[in-house]
Amino acid sequence: MFFKGKKILVIGGTGTIGTSIVKTLLHESPSAIRVFSRDEHKQHQLQNDLGERENVRFLIGDIRDYDRLHTAMQEIDYVFHLAAMKHVPACEYNPYEAVLTNVHGTNNVIKAALEQNVSKVVFTSTDKAISPTNTYGATKLTAERLITAAEYSKGNKKTAFSSVRFGNVMGSRGSVIPLFKHQILENKKITVTDSTMTRFMMTLEQATTLTIKALKEAKGGEIFVLKMPIVSLATLTRVVIDETCQQHGLDSNKISIEEIGLRPGEKMYEELMTHEESLTAWDLSDMYVIPFFTKGNVRYEGGRKARPGTYSSSGGQPLSLEELYQLLKTQRLV
């Protein structure tokens, strides 16, 4: 097993994806997992959920604090960097706070990893980093560039840095599905930004599995772009309304949908890659890989050259009503 006997630091380890990664890694018998986050309540919840485990330690800290990160990375082999400010409106109204966490914090992770001679660091980014129209996307794009540039500046250090791009993770903290359910039951109305909006969405299991796979496959400097189904907001609201009403004995025809317009910084659609990135990308069965261009003809097992394009959520085929229903049902989200 890849992680057997290894020491792992999960930064942002009490978030939805971080928690899932921690639980998954425990099956591979690592010698230590350090869960790093600034939320003591969530750390307490996860500690109770996992029970007493000799190989799991919980560290309170903030990635804005370099010294704390440096200490947390002592003798660590692999780092999963998931901590971020990611709420789009919050980043819009507090842009410098987003810079401090998403940019300055990521730079601290890089410096600490190099100083502690970590083997690999994987950074979780977002499709909003492509042609960003908001602070969140812009800071994540900058953080991606920092991770890739670390391959230039690391000198003779062994650390390999890579990034993974997500779409929306179903059921994660901040997901619209629980919000829609609450609005249906409390207000008999759903508020949406624009029903024609499309998004890339993935399950928590997919996000977890492919992030771990990206760390295992990373050679250094590349960006892994996870393949995700496209979901239209109109279809999502219909599924959630129908299923919630059926479960609670409500008339779905009496649930209204109110469009309130885009929030500051929001886009109607997302993209997975720039056209220029697609020209060098590799197409694997479950992800694309944008390699670090100075490493020559790096190849990835089972990969073929990707077709040129931006892979926009507005240009693909969204999941049908039935397909989305089955996906949400298997994830116990409806």
Tell me the catalytic residues: 128
The rounded distance, in Å, linking the Cα atoms of 3 and 212 is 10
The rounded distance, in Å, linking the Cα atoms of 220 and 105 is 20
The rounded distance, in Å, linking the Cα atoms of 192 and 185 is 16
The rounded distance, in Å, linking the Cα atoms of 225 and 203 is 15
The rounded distance, in Å, linking the Cα atoms of 113 and 77 is 9
Residue 123 structure tokens: 């950074």
The rounded distance, in Å, linking the Cα atoms of 71 and 181 is 42
The rounded distance, in Å, linking the Cα atoms of 62 and 57 is 16
The rounded distance, in Å, linking the Cα atoms of 187 and 277 is 45
Q: Any bridge partners for residue 124, and if so which?
A: 164
The rounded distance, in Å, linking the Cα atoms of 18 and 10 is 7
Amino acid at 115: E
Q: Buried b / exposed e across 152-181, counting CB within 10 Å, b at 16+?
A: eebeeeebbbbbbbbbbbbebeebbbeebb
Residue 113 structure tokens: 């990893």
- Distance from CA of residue 171 to its chain's centroid? 12
The rounded distance, in Å, linking the Cα atoms of 165 and 18 is 15
